[in-house]
Structure 1
């Protein structure tokens, strides 16, 4: 009898996986900012604090009502604890699903970053990239900055080589923007 019950429980557990779907968990606003700071430079915070951090509902990462310190009724002392005028933002999930608002905010942030001359000079210096000359080593450094545990494929190398040589002045910037707006690095 025990064997029958045990086999019944095991068959239920084995079949349960067919009905459970799990969407990938993606980075919230705090992790996105941390990754961009790590990849580029702390100077990117001027863009992440404008586009990423205030976007609680689109990017996830709830505010903490108990961390809010106020000097007056209208402003929170620390931007990262702010609920941005909506106290229900403390109920937001830690991570959200992918959505078009999220993609737009990431694009706006990444475009601002690659258009910032000082940040890009710092980026090229950090990774020792010659802005005017293509080489596989530089491409690998850019790839590893966004995907540290993933090798670049030959197809990717081929596409990015074409992108580099098609552009007259934004050679590495177009490649870096492509990596930055990719939703794949945000998957946990």
Structure 2
């Protein structure tokens, strides 16, 4: 199911905040579609003309250790209104994706946005369980977001054969992993 969303220029880090609105009697899916069609455009200055709208290809809700405010103090400062961790909403567009944090208060905040071609899959990577003998090379960059785009950062791999890892803390790409065959979905664990 695709719907329309306003087009935005490329940017790697978020910061847009969307205020909650009154709830109406809708199904869960209708509520999601309404959010995508009505609430998200409020984050932009003015309503763009219809010809500048783009299609939403996929939507995914995530619960990840990004939501563990005891491990991520920056996130705790943003959402310190209660003990309930926020929900993450990922939106895949025909030319990129966005990640939104939606706390219990309903005030959504954009955490990440990238516009460099279609995104087939994306996942928040859980922080690994590191033993005392091992070191986490990305501890200062976590939480990490894995993104499978049509064209990898190197630009030389076949379509959807690359996963780029982005830091949600800094917005920068920290690693690119090439594969020989196309990627259809991303799955991850703490190992």
| Class of the TM-score when normalised by the shorter of the 2 chains | under 0.3
Which of structures 1 and 2 has the bigger CA Rg?
Answer: 1
Structure 2 length-normalised TM: 0.19
Structure 1 length-normalised TM: 0.20
The structure whose residues are more often strand, as a share, is: 2
The structure whose residues are more often helix, as a share, is: 1
Q: Which has the higher contact order (CA 8 A, sep 6+)?
A: 1
